[in-house]
Structure 1
């Protein structure tokens, strides 16, 4: 892999070998999500673990979206 950037290598690789942010799995209806806790009962979606294929097209379920635990949109 080749990476072309004007940023210093130290900045690009900062934290690559360090511990990642803690995540947890949340079941919301028929969805199983991996979320990064932001506040008590609130998390940022990291990825969808178990869902219907159409759920990947829903903007409210995209990685980086903020959800409240237990109240993620139901897959239909």
Structure 2
């Protein structure tokens, strides 16, 4: 792959290899989802793993939504 740019290569790939926080699988409201823990009792939804089909259309459970949960 060739990049034709004036941006330094270090800046282009900055953060590409950082590990960040580990994702957890939790069961909330009868749904298994993968979340990224945030501060306090909150988590950001990464993806739904197992849930009823109508829950995929609920914006409260969309990827990126922040939810409250107990660890």
**What TM-score results when the alignment is normalised by the length of structure 2?**
0.72
User: Relative contact order: is structure 1 or structure 2 higher (C-alpha 8 Å, sep ≥ 6)?
Assistant: 1
Deviation at 1:17, TM superposition (A): 2.5
CA–CA separation in structure 2 for the residues paired with 1:12 and 1:21: 22
Structure 2 unaligned blocks of 5 or more: 1-6
- Which structure has the larger Rg? 2
CA–CA separation in structure 2 for the residues paired with 1:52 and 1:10: 43
The alignment covers a number of residue pairs equal to 69
Aligned-CA RMSD value: 2.7
Deviation at 1:29, TM superposition (A): 2.4
Deviation at 1:13, TM superposition (A): 2.7
**What TM-score results when the alignment is normalised by the length of structure 1?**
0.68
Asked whether the equivalents of residues 23 and 36 of structure 2 are also in contact (C-alpha less than 8 Å), the reply is yes
1:22-52 residue CA offsets vs partner (Å, 9 max, x unmatched) = 2111111210111111112210111101111
